[in-house]
Amino acid sequence: MRKLLVLAAAGLAAGCAAGGKGEGSMKTAALRHVVLFKFKDGAPPEAIRAIEEKFRGLKARIPGIADFEWGTNVSPEKLDQGFTHCFFVTFPDAAARDAYLPHPAHQEFVAVLRPHLDKVLVVDYVARE
């Protein structure tokens, strides 16, 4: 039994090292860019709506964005630490994300966001199956 567990763990480690894809697969894994916002107390609702729209508009303005979705927190667990908005941006690879960050449209968005932002949390990861 112990030998079987060791072999299974080794197989799992090999799969992780290969990016979670099957052997011989040439598929490039997507890069997910998860962004959480906590707005300043008293941030005007119209400013928050403008920020939502500006972020949504980046998909049309920046070619490397493969997919985009967003929403506001509806969790009953009360573990959000004040973060209210989640934006989920998918890029085909890290190079597309790296081009997105300094892109003028993204920098314009950041300039609109910054005065109203209390905290931001960003996590990027390579998607695995």
- Domain locations in the chain as residue ranges: 27-126
Cα separation, 21 vs 97, whole angstroms: 21
pLDDT in tens, 83-102: 999 999 999 999 999 999 99
For the chain, what's the residue count? 129
Cα separation, 80 vs 2, whole angstroms: 41
Identify which of 114, 109, 108 has the alpha carbon closest to the alpha carbon of residue 40: 114
Global confidence as pTM: 0.77
Amino acid at 65: I
The mean pLDDT value for 33-48 works out to 98
Cα separation, 62 vs 64, whole angstroms: 6
- Tell me what pLDDT residue 77 has: 98
Of 8-22, 29-43, 86-100, the least confident: 8-22
- Tell me what pLDDT residue 92 has: 97
Classify 27-126 by CATH class: alpha beta
The mean pLDDT value for 57-82 works out to 97
